[in-house]
Amino acid sequence: MAAVLRYEREEDHVEFIHFPDSRTHRRRNVYLLKVEVTMFKVLKTEGAARRGEFSCPHGTVQTPVFMNVGTQAAIKGALSAADLEKIGTQIELSNTYHLHLRPGDEVVRDMGGLHKFMTWNGPILTDSGGFQVFSLAGLRKIKEEGVTFASHLDGHKIFMGPEESMRIQSNLGSDIAMAFDECAPYPSDREYTIAAMERTHRWVVRCKKAHTRPDQALFGIVQGGMFADLRIESAKFLASLDLPGYGIGGLSVGEPKEMMYDMLEQMMPYMPANKPRYLMGVGSPDCLVEGAVRGIDMFDCVLQTRIARNGLALTGSGKKMLRNASFEHDFTPIEEGCDCYACKNGFTRAYIRHLVKCKEILAAQLITTHNLRFSLRLMEQVREAIEQDRLLDFREELKAKGTFD
C-alpha cells in the first residue's frame, strides 16, 4: 500500500509532517489535508497474467506497464516530458546513484523534487543505486554497512548504504523508491548468491526503518540468482515485510531467457497476489509478453533507446536495422499503421537511414520515439488481451508475425 497525499493551502491543513532539511538542519513543515492509503488492484486475470492498476501521488498506472528509463532525469534520444506524454507514457524511471552524482539530490530537492526538475507530472520510480553495485563491479567495494564507489566521472569516493539511498530518494521525491540491494552476477556460485541475498534482506530491513516519506512507496527487491529455492526463500522473506510492492532483481543479467522464465514460474506463487510485481531491467518485446503471461505487472529497460541510437527499430514484423543499404530506396514509414510521430508524419525509412549514416541527432530522436511508442502500444495490447481472455492467443499471433525476431 502507498500513501497518497493531497496538498492544500496552509490554512486548510488538518495535520502536518516534519521533513528534515539536511542542508540547514532546520525542519520544514509540509501541510496535508488528507492521507489516503491506496492499494494495487487486480482488475482481471487470465491464468497467471494480471490486469491491474496502481495508484501513486502523481497518477494511477494501468498494468502491465512498460516504464521508460530516464537515468539522469532525461530520455536519451532528445525527448522532452511533453513528447513522452504524447506517446502514452504512464510512468518514468530515474536513477538514484547518477542523480546523486549530478546535479546532486539536494539540488533536485531544492527545485521542488524530481517532477518539477524534469517537468514530468506523472509517476516516477527511482532505482536505489543497487544496480550500480552490479554494473560498476570494478569500481566498488561491498561491506555490510554499504558500498563505496569510485565515481565513474572523476574517481572520487562515494559511500552509499540503505540509509543513504533512502535519504537521496526522499530528496528526489519519486512516487516509488526501490530498496538498496546487491545483485549477484551470472554465473554466480551458490555461496556468493546466498551471501548477496541475505545481505539484501538485511539491507531492506534497514531501508524500511530509514524510509520516512509517507507520499512515497517503498518496494523491496527479490534476489536469489538462478537458484529456485533461494528465489522462493527471498520472495517469502520480502512478503513478510508487507511492503507496497516488490521488484524482482538479478534476472536478465546474461542468463538464457528460458532460465529467467523458469525462475519466474518457480517464485511467482510466493509473491503477494495483492501487490505489484516489477521485473527489473527487462523490456524486449518477447520478454514483455512472456513476463506478463507469468504475472509480472511492471517492466523497465534501456533497450528501446539504446538500439535506437544505433539505427535499430522495433516493429511488429521484427527489428529493422535502418542503416542497412536495403532501406536506401524504401519510402515507407518505419512501420505501417504506427501512430508515433515519426510514422504519422511521413518520415521514411530511406530518410531515416540517411540521418543515421550522417550521424544526425534527429535519427536517434525519431527512432527512439518510435521504439518507445511501439513498446507502450504493445503493453496496451497486452492489457486489452488480458481483459478479453486472449493473451496466449495474442502471444502466438506475435510469434507468427515475427515480432519477437
| Burial of 370 (C-beta count, 10 Å sphere; 0-12/13-18/19+) | buried
Closest by CA to 122, choosing from 166, 70, 46, is: 70
Contact 178, 130 (CB under 8 A): yes
Closest by CA to 365, choosing from 73, 66, 84, is: 84
Contact 70, 118 (CB under 8 A): yes
Q: Which residue in the list 175, 286, 300, 339 is annotated as catalytic? A: 300
Helix (H, G, I), strand (E, B) or coil at 404: coil
Q: Which residue in the list 127, 175, 181, 215 is annotated as catalytic? A: 127
Helix (H, G, I), strand (E, B) or coil at 228: helix
Strands (E) in 21-168, as ranges, are: 27-32, 34-38, 41-46, 49-56, 59-63, 65-69, 92-95, 124-127, 140-142, 147-150, 157-160
Based on the residue annotation, tell me whether 21 is a catalytic residue of this protein: no
Based on the residue annotation, tell me whether 389 is a catalytic residue of this protein: no
Percentage helix, strand, coil, to 5, in the chain? Answer: 40, 25, 35
Q: How many CB atoms lie within 10 A of CB 344?
A: 12
What is the DSSP code (8-state) at residue 321? E
Query: What phi and psi values does residue 38 have, to the nearest 5 degrees?
Result: -110, 155
Distances (CA, A) of 165 to 14, 224, 271: 30, 21, 24
Q: Which residues are catalytic?
A: 127, 300
